Amino acid sequence: MEDLNFRTQDPTGGCGSVSDQYVAGLFDGCGKVVTGLEQVQGKYEKYPRVRMHIEMMGMKITGREKMLTLLNRIKDHIVLKKEEVRLALGFCETIGDGKTPLKNTDHGLRKIVHARFRVLGESK
């Protein structure tokens, strides 16, 4: 599942042996969104860098597209961790191309998301 191919490539959108609901249940039970704050010194780094990844069943999922794919597929089926998924989706929207500096508003949003995850107990 690391490459998020837990659904068959059915052009009609049908699910294979593992449904989005099942994956959402796994996430509710043992998945988590983890954020971390690191201070980076550099020419363009005047803000602390906030990182995010998803952990589930021994896997670490990183990268905007993979995280968005997972979160968007399970968001309507989550029962217990709706707030975490909502916050993580908002954070993913601030992930750029790695070449363009983040806007001040994106830095602010990331700090808010990190603080909220600290309250939820899912950040470092």
pLDDT digits (tens, 9 = 90+) for 45-76: 666 778 889 999 888 999 889 999 999 999 99
pLDDT of residue 43: 57
In a domain, 4, yes or no: no
DSSP states of 50-85 as a string?
A: EEEEEEETTEEE-SHHHHHHHHHHHTTT-SS-HHHH
In a domain, 1, yes or no: no
In a domain, 47, yes or no: yes
Q: How many residues does the chain have?
A: 124
* Residue bearing tokens 């971390």: 36
**CATH number of the domain that 51 lies in?**
3.10.28.10
Q: Could you list the residue range(s) of the whole structural domain that residue 112 is in?
A: 20-120
In a domain, 2, yes or no: no
pTM equals 0.75
Written as one letter, the residue type at 49 is R
Q: Based on the structure, what is the number of domains in the chain?
A: 1
Of 13-17, 39-43, 60-64, 91-95, the poorest mean pLDDT is in: 13-17
In a domain, 37, yes or no: yes
